[in-house]
Amino acid sequence: MYHAYSNQALLSLLSENDEFAFTEIYNRYWQKLFAIAYNRLKEIQAAEDIVHDVLVSIWTNREKNQIDSLENYLATAVKYMVLGKIKDKIKERLYQQSQMQTRSFEMPVDESIHYKRILDIVNTEIEKLPEKCRLIFKYSRHDGLPVKEIARELKISPKTVENQINKAIKRLKLVSRFLFEFFPFLIFYCLL
């Protein structure tokens, strides 16, 4: 009987708490609304949930609805809910990615303490280098200056700069062998 009614007649009956009018609206539009939601989300459960929520809102707000075109209203409501769902998924994905990145760069406290100790040992060894060697090494590794620029700055030959850098590296390699033998579990974190 209700299937012959127009959308406007169904909305009028709906505003008077007619459950059969709601059932007719549900049966008339459920498949179309599901197709709209599913085509965008590609998830059956999410599409069903959205259609359900839109249709329930029609019933819940039946006394105050000011709907001119039922079909357009329902389709638009589904599209907005789909967009909301997509935004939520994007936010969730970004949050999960940020959590994974944070976890991948976090170091357990005890390993962080060991890492700091290793850095202290390396820095101590750098400070033990002869003055000229230490200065050249810091210019090269800490400041990132090229050999020619260091040579010009210190008024020495580029070959001397290279020799001093090699001398510092050899000394630090000895220290690193010690560290790798006694702290091999930290190698991964040192290379990050």
Query: In the chain, where are the structural domains located?
Result: 2-104, 107-191
- Closest by CA to 77, choosing from 44, 69, 164, is 69
Angle between helices 158-182 and 109-128 (to 10 degrees): 140
User: Is the model's pLDDT at 191 over the cut of 60?
Assistant: no
pTM listed for this prediction: 0.51
Contact in structure between 65 and 58 (CB atoms under 8 Å):
yes
User: What's the length of the chain?
Assistant: 192
107-191 carries CATH number 1.10.10.10: yes
Kindly state the tokens that stand for 125: 């060894």
pLDDT bin (cut points 50, 70, 90) of residue 173 is confident
pLDDT bin (cut points 50, 70, 90) of residue 192 is very low
Q: Is the dihedral of CA 106, 111, 116, 118 positive or negative?
A: negative
pLDDT bin (cut points 50, 70, 90) of residue 114 is low
Question: What is 2-104's CATH number?
Answer: 1.10.1740.10
**At residue 29, what are phi and psi to the nearest 5 degrees?**
-115, -10
